[in-house]
A and B are shown apart, each in its own frame.
Chain A
Amino acid sequence: MEDLLRSAMEHALSLGAEYAEARHQSDVSERTVVKNGAPEVSSVESRSGFSLRVVKRGCMAFAAGNGLDAAGLRGLAAKAVRAADASGALKAELRMDGSPVCDAKDVLAPRVPFADVPLQERTSLLLESHRRAADSAAAAGCRLAGAFMSLGLLRTEKTIINSDGGRLLSSIPRASMNAFLTVFSPERGAVQRHISKGSASGWEGVESWALEESMAEEAATLAKVVNEASPLSAGRKDLVLGPEIIGLVAHESAGHPSEADRLLGREAAQAGETFLSERGAPRRVGRPMLNVVDDPTLPGSFGRYLYDDECVAARRRYLIRGGEFDELLHDRSSAAAMGTLSNGSSRSLRYDVEPIVRMANTFVEPGDHSLEELLEGVKDGIYMRSFMEWNIDDRRYNQRYVGLECHRIADGELAGLLRGPALEISTPALWSSIDAIGRDLEFSAALCGKGEPMQGIPVWTGGPPVRLRGVHMGGSA
């Protein structure tokens, strides 16, 4: 394999490329789906192939194909160089930085290989999870009106070399579970929830989620929301955000604004830019105890990798340090453009898409408060534990989170459920409103969408509960 890649890379260099990297990637994904309590489909998707990425006279190009032999790979290299030559009037001045590159292996061996778990066992787990969720809703006088549960088992293997001496062999298994539940009461209507779980692991990751219990609890909570939640009047409140929501905030409002390719305008036409590039944008957005980090090296995390697709070692990056926006996420070309070095943020989803700047596992670092201590300090407020609707503008400045499981806080105690309160707030206002950070860190799994074509890449989002003071909450019907 490496000989094939090296031959193609050298062919690209012989055609005038100043930089070339060659990659073989294989992604084998198995999926089991249960819909409304019945097996829907089981599927296997196997995609593998080669890619060449080159820089020639400041222009970058990427070519990919599958089913190729040595001659086909050299043709792929020629195609990449030809594409780099085609820029014409749009000629660029791009280069790669001088980051040290690795000669390394990153092989994560699963404790329980996916192949050891027969299809029937996977299907049975989802069917039992559905049954438990349905029972749970029924026990509360509601009905599980719709349920989609999907179990995904993925193995990604990459061989990458580049003309700066980088060499990486990696093999990472990932397990994921997605569910969409609708709990309905004829008298009070329906609520819905997406649930995502994921880890870099074998089947042991699935076992750790205790899906049957988890789905039963989720349905019970939704039934309580249906039965008990009451409307909220708009107004200024103290707000405690649970790990699920502050994790998403960390991803959307610290991670995305800190992607250097956004700052440089590379993503301007699709997922957008960042308010941090605007004149007068605040660097300090929070109190000194606020740290938001992105760390690809967390063991078992959904976004785990030790070396990126440009063969640069991964490490923890402080996006917000001591309340100030600090480090950007870089690949080698964005680092070169900004006169710094890559911090190993370059990832691609499949063999046929280019690596771009991505987050991995983004979270608020824990503080020292228990949840009870966070609540104790609130006279009249809201504890927002989960959400359904959210979005944020393409500068990552104006965002909205609509709560799903939300509790009223009265004199430091939980005092009943609220229906759909909305937090609509700017990024600096959100971070600067935090006055206390909890100590119990939790993560959620997600697929982060970015790029053209869209690459939905595995990430974790996380944090401990945090307390915000005096934020304006939109009311609910």
Chain B
Amino acid sequence: MSLAHEVMETLLRLGVENGVVSSAREREVLLRFSNDRMTVADAVEGTTVSVFVRERGRKAGITLGETDASKVEAAVESMVAEMRRHGGGGSVPLPQGPFRYAAAAEEPPVDVEEMASMAAAAVEAARSAGATRSAGSFKASVTSLSMCTTAGAEGEALLPEAELSLRSFSPDGSSGHGLAVAADPRRIDAAAAGREAGGLARMSMGASEVKGGKRDAVLAPMVFADLAAEAGDMASAFYVDMGMSFLKDKEGKDVASPLLQLSDDPTIPGCIGTRPFDDEGSPTRRNEIIADGVLQGYLHNSETAHAHGVASTANAGLVAPRPFNLTVGAGKGGWEDLAAEMDRGLVVTNAWYLRYQNHAAGEFSVIPRDAVFVVEKGEVVGAAKGLRVSDTLSSLLSNIEALGGDRRWVRWWEVDVPTLSPSAWVRDVSFTRSTM
């Protein structure tokens, strides 16, 4: 009997109305490098058990880094007793199982020597492409997940992830970012990520200060993925109910250009965000969030769905529903092709540090970093620096003029949710800059 099933026995014995137990065993290798040298090599393994209980209007959870079932059971008994001292009212039932799930993924190898060789290949490729130095991280992990619920759902999943993120610098400090994301580290093209980072660093040498103001811009996949992931997060009914979403009261309404299709699809085989079930045990499915620019609905767990009078979208989050694996519909061409059509504007290849002035209005700013190119008459004529995008999500998503066909998976320090995103040509992006 697995640890999760042992703990479930305790919940059933206690007569808990709604309970979820999951145990996760994670194994990760993380290599960090800087100045073309290894900074640190990490190898981490750990087991956690999480128990969530919902009854009589109250919710409680525990997460323990513990493999001793008797200790977990004692903690569970204490949690349930404390919760029952104060509860009152009803609770929404968990989705009723049993369910059938997609077959678990195969476990890829995670080998520190092999990964170090790949990281070295990325650094060498960046150097060959013109970089003088590179820094980055290469991580690969495998999580073995076991889940069961008091409503009869039970399943096993294997969640593999690999991510190589590389930033390269040219002699004048200009930089470029390369990224490769996959479920299996063997599918990471390290040399391509290195070439991308080194090439962008070389191309953006000699960047100059340019004025702020409204400009057309091509937002490369790493940038547009940041915006798409924000929209995906804000589609969570939890954030809508909290007033932390610009999508509140917009179901069935235009929230973006008709060109935009945004979905959450954790069923795509072989992606890092792929998973067979959500945190309540519901089998995952593809959910359209924005279709032809129209908001199709919010992401729900069973509780938010009940409050909104709809069915769960299998996006639990035991407290807050969330997207798992976002996809943006593709157009045609790469960022270079979009820039050629744009005539005049900027190409932003990366951005970070997105912060809101007002979540409900979607007012935010985010800082372009790494290569930013100036485009005139469809040609890249130089590089720019020192700019900030200060705009609203509604405006940026509504002003999409064209989407590229250069979709790629993005996940890195700035973008938490794996997002398949193309480049996007956006009209009238508001850029600001320091004037002192």
Contacts and interface: CB of A to CB of B under 8 A. Distances in A.
Given A146-B241, A389-B363, A389-B365, 19 more contacts: A33-B319, A40-B59, A62-B42, A63-B43, A65-B45, A84-B41, A90-B116, A119-B85, A119-B86, A145-B243, A182-B243, A268-B169, A269-B136, A270-B413, A391-B354, A424-B432, A452-B137, A454-B413, A472-B436
Given A388-B356, A391-B355, A452-B413, A265 B82 contact: no
B41 A43 contact: no
Interface stretch (B63-71, B259-267, B373-381): B63-71
A88 B242 contact: no
Interface in B59-87: 59-68, 75, 79, 82-83, 85-86
Most B Cβ at <10 Å: residue of A47, A49, A66:
A66
Contacts of A64: 42-46
Contact of A44 (B62, B85, B367): B62
A145 B359 CA distance: 13
B5 interface: no
A180 B238 CA distance: 13
B46 A66 contact: yes
B319 A41 contact: yes
B48 A425 contact: no
Given A42-B60, A93-B37, A400-B390, A83 B364 contact: no
Given A61-B43, A119-B86, A48 B360 contact: no
A476 to B, nearest CB: 10
B16 interface: no
Given A45-B62, A269-B165, A388 B358 contact: yes
Given A41-B319, A180-B244, A452-B32, A394 B67 contact: no
Interface string B324-365: 000000000000000000000000000011111111110111
A59 interface: yes
Interface string A52-91: 0000000111111111000000000001101110111111
B403 to A, nearest CB: 26
B384 interface: no
Contacts of B123: 89-90
A87 to B, nearest CB: 4
Contacts of B117: 88-89
A86 B113 contact: yes
A60 B29 CA distance: 14
A342 B36 CA distance: 24
Interface in B353-408: 353-361, 363-367, 369, 386, 388, 390
Contacts of A399: 434
B368 to A, nearest CB: 9
B86 to A, nearest CB: 5
B62 A180 contact: no
Given A66-B47, A119-B82, A393 B369 contact: yes
A472 B361 CA distance: 25
Contacts of B85: 119-120
Contact of A182 (B86, B360, B388, B435): B360
B206 to A, nearest CB: 15
Nearest to A393: B367
Nearest to A275: B173
A445 to B, nearest CB: 18
B133 interface: yes
A190 B353 CA distance: 23
10 contacts: A42-B61, A44-B62, A44-B63, A64-B42, A67-B66, A119-B83, A278-B173, A392-B353, A400-B432, A452-B32
Contact of A67 (B41, B62, B67): B67
A453 interface: yes
